[in-house]
Structure 1
Amino acid sequence: MPEVPAEEEEVPSIETVTDGYFEEEYYIGAEDAGDFLIKLGEQFKEEDEITITGDDWELPFAFGEPVKLDIEFEGDGEPELEIEVELSGRVEDETPDLT
């Protein structure tokens, strides 16, 4: 006997962020942060475009060289270590003819 198709589950729509301003901040465990950084690092090594995803968004980004790495340590009072990676967008080799 054929099965009756179940009602389709609502699949949340994914917003692809390609322009404007976008910011998300997360408080996660160190192991999860490490997993995130490993996956991000693998994308850096394998391609010249990364994609970062959240629950309902994705952010693809084609980057160029050099990559800026900033390491900042504050040891007074409550110690804090900040590691920042800054990527510039990839510049195409050829410029368009605007004439």
Structure 2
Amino acid sequence: MVQLVHPAREDIALAGVLDALADPMRLRIVKALLGQADCMSMSCTAAAPCPKMAKSTLSNHFRVLREAGLIRTTKKGVEHHNVVREADLNARFPGLLKAILKHAE
């Protein structure tokens, strides 16, 4: 079974977060995940910014977001469900995510 890599809160780096969010598709994925009510998780397919995006491309986007510390992924059956690590990001970089999303519109 594939082990998913999630950096510890203290290992989340500003450069990694900014690099991951520099891609417009990954930014759209994070916005979709944050749009979920009550911080519920979303499957990769549900959070996909484009319905016709290749699964390999989508998988790569989620890997980059996960390894940068932006999302936490858990496996539920055959699906991977994702949630933004908002508390961890705000603890490391207060207000950063909110500012990036505000100015990205």
TM-score by length of 2: 0.33
The one of the two structures with greater contact order (alpha-carbon pairs below 8 A, sep at least 6) is 2
Larger Rg: 1
Higher helix share: 2
Higher strand share: 1
TM-score by length of 1: 0.34
